[in-house]
């Protein structure tokens, strides 16, 4: 076989390997995109939903993390403390915003974190961003602005809910950066996620107990939606993203997160009848076109050699 043929095969293999983490990011974003729709479905209050949601997650993750005789690495406790606290605070503000304003506004404003992560990546994560990535970021945010402006007062939007969504964006940015940096320390994805979920519960459960008065009024229907949140939006969404963070620059994965609000807004219109204006539709199209450019750029993201050996086993561990 000639050197040219070998080079072509290697290039093709490398492109496919690079695409796997990017695909994982898209799966995570889809899972998160439908999360707000599931969150609005139960009949109990949002604080009671938070109570059950964060309690259901750790046992499931513990089962996955300790399968095949594995033991939890206790040395990880300090590593997950800060990401877990930030994730818990983000959970409270983010999902409270969903019921205080429209789904479109809550999810779009929440993704302001994308810009913060993009421009923080060079300083805090030692990642470089290109001029094209900056241009695509600005183009994406132009679409986001169109969606926000086009919403007006439709779909139950409110300034209070928008403020909660903005606070969520700030705490999510800190969580994203701290999680990315600590995942580079080499901890197993499932064990890291389990540790984060335990700390999250320690933050959210006391808050829910203090602020909720209908925790015991949960129905079987509510329970079904809570299980769906835990399995899909929680386990699949966050584990796919955490794994992908090891191989995809934060500047790339954070831009792909812009697809989440589009999924949520469309779902809110389809399921709950929340209105979407023409300007919002145009803004969504701009976001999607920009994301296509992000995926194109992702083909040039450097992937470490150990991806060849570990990609399949890691992906096969997803339930």
Please tell me which residue, 280 or 63, carries the higher pLDDT value: 63
Q: State the alpha helices, DSSP H only, in the chain.
A: 3-39, 46-65, 77-100, 103-110, 113-124, 131-151, 159-183, 189-211, 220-228, 237-244, 250-256, 259-272, 278-298, 307-316
Tokens standing for residue 17: 């390997």
DSSP state of 248: S
Quick one: CA dihedral 28, 179, 177, 305, positive or negative? negative
Average pLDDT score over residue span 170-179: 83
| CA distances (Å), origin 301, targets 169, 231, 298 | 26, 30, 5
pTM comes to: 0.72
Please tell me which residue, 22 or 319, carries the higher pLDDT value: 22
Complete DSSP assignment for 30-44: HHHHHHHHHHTSSSS
Average pLDDT score over residue span 96-121: 77
CB 59 within 8 A of CB 312: no
Please tell me which residue, 13 or 61, carries the higher pLDDT value: 61
Tokens standing for residue 247: 């191989």
Per-residue pLDDT of 193-232, as tens digits, reads 888 889 999 999 999 999 999 999 999 999 999 888 887 7
Place of tokens 């989440």: 260
Q: How far apart are CA 94 and CA 111, in angstroms?
A: 11
Question: Is residue 210 classed as helix, strand or coil in its secondary structure?
Answer: helix
Per-residue pLDDT of 247-267, as tens digits, reads 777 656 666 777 787 888 888
Place of tokens 């779909």: 155
Domain ranges of the chain: 26-301
Look at residues 177, 243, 175, 190 and name the one whose alpha carbon lies nearest to residue 76.
190
């Amino acid at each position: 076989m000639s050197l040219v043929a070998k080079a072509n095969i290697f290039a093709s293999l490398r492109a496919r390997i690079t695409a796997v983490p990017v695909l994982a990011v898209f799966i995570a974003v889809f899972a998160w995109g439908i999360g707000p729709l599931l969150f609005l479905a139960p009949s109990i209050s949002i604080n009671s939903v938070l109570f059950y949601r964060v309690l259901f997650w750790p046992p499931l993750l513990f089962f996955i993390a300790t399968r095949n005789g594995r033991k939890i690495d206790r040395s990880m406790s300090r590593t997950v403390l800060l990401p877990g606290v930030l994730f818990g605070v983000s959970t409270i503000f983010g999902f409270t915003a969903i019921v205080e304003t429209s789904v479109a506004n809550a999810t779009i404003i929440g993704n302001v974190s994308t810009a913060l992560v993009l421009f923080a990546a060079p300083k805090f994560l030692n990642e470089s961003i290109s001029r094209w990535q900056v241009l695509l970021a600005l183009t994406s945010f132009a679409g986001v602005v169109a969606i926000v402006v086009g919403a007006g007062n439709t779909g139950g939007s409110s300034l209070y809910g928008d403020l909660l969504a903005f606070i969520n964006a700030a705490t999510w940015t800190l969580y994203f950066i701290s999680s990315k940096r600590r995942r580079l320390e080499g901890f197993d994805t499932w064990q890291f996620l389990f540790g984060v979920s335990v700390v999250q519960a320690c933050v959210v459960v006391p808050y829910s107990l203090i602020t909720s008065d209908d925790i015991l009024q949960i129905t079987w229907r509510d329970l079904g939606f809570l299980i769906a949140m835990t399995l899909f939006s929680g386990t699949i969404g966050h584990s796919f993203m955490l794994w992908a963070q090891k191989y995809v620059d934060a500047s790339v994965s954070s831009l792909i997160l812009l697809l989440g609000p589009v999924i949520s807004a469309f779902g809110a219109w389809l399921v709950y009848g929340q209105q979407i204006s023409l300007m919002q539709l145009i803004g969504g199209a701009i976001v999607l076109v920009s994301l296509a450019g992000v995926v194109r750029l992702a083909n040039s993201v450097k992937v470490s050699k150990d991806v060849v050996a570990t990609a399949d086993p890691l992906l096969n561990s997803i339930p």
